[in-house]
Structure 1
Amino acid sequence: MSRAFVKETDGQDDVALPERPQSPHVNYITPAGFERLQAQVRELSALRNSLAEREDLGSRQQLKLVERDLGYYTERLRRAVVVQPEGQPGDRVHFGATVEVEDAEGQRTVFTIVGEDEADAATGRISWVSPLARALLNARVGQTVLWKRPIGDKELEIISIGKG
């Protein structure tokens, strides 16, 4: 039989994926974010188990991605420090707070300060390590803070502070 018809591995099955880098910051997270992270680990574990039972090449390749992500999120969960909102000061901007700000043009915006894994700028959920959150943290209602941005600094007045 000709060697042309014999399936040989091309070595791609054995290529190790690079690990997803972990943030150097403390993994502060809200209770809701912690629950979502736990759910994600459960979902990835179930997917890994399902893929491990299959023998096709596509499943084996997908399994490597799932295992890498599972390792990443398991470590994020292990490093998580859940911050309870009721233990935070009500008179200052803090982790987990929802903050309404107003800029010089009168434009009002609401942000919630959350963990890195929970951040979603499109919905106003900003990471506590972001430049905007760092400018807001510890400010009080009525205080003006300076948000240092690459496109130019912007002053924001704190209008209200609420629990996340």
Structure 2
Amino acid sequence: MNKAFVKENEGDDDDDLDVAAVALPAGSKNYMTKQGYERLRAELVHLMNEERPAVVQTVSWAASNGDRSENGDYLYGKKRLREIDRRIRFLTRRLEMAEVVDPAQQPNRDQVFFGATVVYSDKAGEEFRVTIVGVDEAEPLEGRISWISPVARALTKAREGDTVTLRTPAGIDELDVLEVHYPET
């Protein structure tokens, strides 16, 4: 097929469509733990210093082989370079706007704030243990939830023994706060 009839986005200006991207509430900061910041920074350094140069070398080698239209190494390499560059731009922006918070320095250790590990139970009596972290470091299946998640918002400012209301599309649930912990300094 003639390339005139195929829409190809060479620029790939869809940086905001990054798989890991989570929109922050308007006017809010990108709160992050030190560990989350270091993990994103390490990923950025790895992409810039190791992965990107290796792919550039492969693309350069593939380009020197001649016909690029059917050269799989060249085509895949160019696509992979665009993905790496997109991720580098995304990580750079996220790290620039990050505000690192040390939960161990929280003065109100009896209340739930960013960085707290909370044990709570729902109406059914099922217990959950979650740690409230930044949007870029959330792993709900591992018990790390984003500070903008409905559960984290419901728990914020609660104390041990409090009951908070969680509003979800499935309805309203009552959460009993059983324990609040912060990392030690």
**TM-score w.r.t. length of structure 2:** 0.78
Moved over 4 A (4+): 8-11
Matches within 5 A, 1:108-127: 108-127=127-146
Structure 1 residue 130: Cα displacement: 0.7
Structure 1 residue 131: Cα displacement: 0.9
Match of 2:98 among 80, 85, 98: 80
Identity of aligned residues (%): 36
How many residue pairs align between the two structures? 157
Aligned partners of 1:112 and 1:122: how far apart in 2? 11
Structure 1 residue 58: Cα displacement: 1.1
Aligned partners of 1:48 and 1:151: how far apart in 2? 44
Contact 1:17 1:64 survives alignment (8 Å): no
Q: Letter of the aligned partner of 1:35 in structure 2?
A: E
Aligned partners of 1:68 and 1:119: how far apart in 2? 21
Q: Letter of the aligned partner of 2:90 in structure 1?
A: Y
Q: Letter of the aligned partner of 1:20 in structure 2?
A: D
Structure 1 residue 13: Cα displacement: 7.3
Counterpart in the other structure of 1:20: 16
Match of 1:97 among 116, 124, 127: 116
Contact 1:20 1:68 survives alignment (8 Å): no
The reply to whether residue 137 of structure 1 matches residue 141 of structure 2 is no
Structure 1 residue 17: Cα displacement: 4.1
Aligned partners of 2:32 and 2:114: how far apart in 1? 9
Counterpart in the other structure of 2:67: none
* C-alpha spacing 1:49/1:153, structure 2 compared with 1 (3 Å): same
Aligned partners of 1:111 and 1:14: how far apart in 2? 42
Structure 1 residue 44: Cα displacement: 1.6
Higher mean C-alpha deviation, range 142-151 or range 46-55: 46-55
Aligned partners of 1:57 and 1:17: how far apart in 2? 19
**TM-score w.r.t. length of structure 1:** 0.87
CA offsets per residue over residues 105-127 of structure 1, 9 Å max, x none? 22111111000011111111110
Matches within 5 A, 1:44-63: 44-45=47-48, 46-55=50-59, 56-63=74-81
The reply to whether residue 150 of structure 1 matches residue 154 of structure 2 is no
Higher mean C-alpha deviation, range 98-107 or range 66-75: 98-107
Q: Letter of the aligned partner of 1:43 in structure 2?
A: H
Higher mean C-alpha deviation, range 34-43 or range 135-144: 34-43
Unaligned runs of 5+ in 1: 1-7
Counterpart in the other structure of 2:66: none
CA offsets per residue over residues 29-49 of structure 1, 9 Å max, x none? 011111111111112212112
Unaligned runs of 5+ in 2: 60-73
